[in-house]
Structure 1
């Protein structure tokens, strides 16, 4: 299996951290922009895209600030890969942005970044912050 590399992206977003948090931490919020459908049983979230399912475990969260999910293998065991969504707020300007931390294989990083750009664009649309 190829090693995946960690990368970070930051997107300015015009929304309050508390509203934004609802969209990055709940199945109903995430299904509006992140995946076609999102279900959760406790800490296990199931993300569905075009009929394909991926499962991830919510491993940490801080209300109004961040969520972190660890991807699970097909048999339900933890992988070493995660994705994290952090809400950043500038103390002085109060500008809000969302930081994405994710992993991709070296030859898939650009494609992966593009996917996030599209998803964050959908999120901005849902929030009315375009």
Structure 2
């Protein structure tokens, strides 16, 4: 099995950290922009796209700051995906940092996926 490449992509977003967190830290928030539908039961989120579903387990969650999830079907024990809010101390600008892992030949595809998803998120927030 090949080692996956870690991606960290920063997206400036004009929203308060508290509001932004609601869009990735809750199933209802995620279902507005990330998947067709998202349900959560305890530590497991179920993401539904076009009738197929994938489950992810919460690895860590810090309200108003970060959510880290791992796909249950992932073979790679070290891979996860994470939404993290970063606030610039001087300017107070808010950024959403997305961390993900992709096969080497799928890095561009993965970046494009996240750019499209975050564009949808920005559209929802009005940012």
| TM norm structure 1 | 0.92
- Cα deviation digits, residues 6-57 of structure 1 (max 9, x gap): 1110000000000000001100000001111101110000111112211100
User: Which aligned pairs between 1:1-130 and structure 2 lie closer than 5 A?
Assistant: 1-73=1-73, 79-129=77-127
Greater share of strand: 1
| TM norm structure 2 | 0.94
Give the 4+ runs in structure 1 shifted more than 2 A: 77-80
- C-alpha RMSD of matched pairs (Å): 1.6
Task: Determine the C-alpha separation between the residues in 1 that align with 2:77 and 2:54.
Answer: 12
TM superposition shift of 1:60:
0.5
Q: Give the length in aligned residue pairs.
A: 127
Gaps of 5+ in 2: none
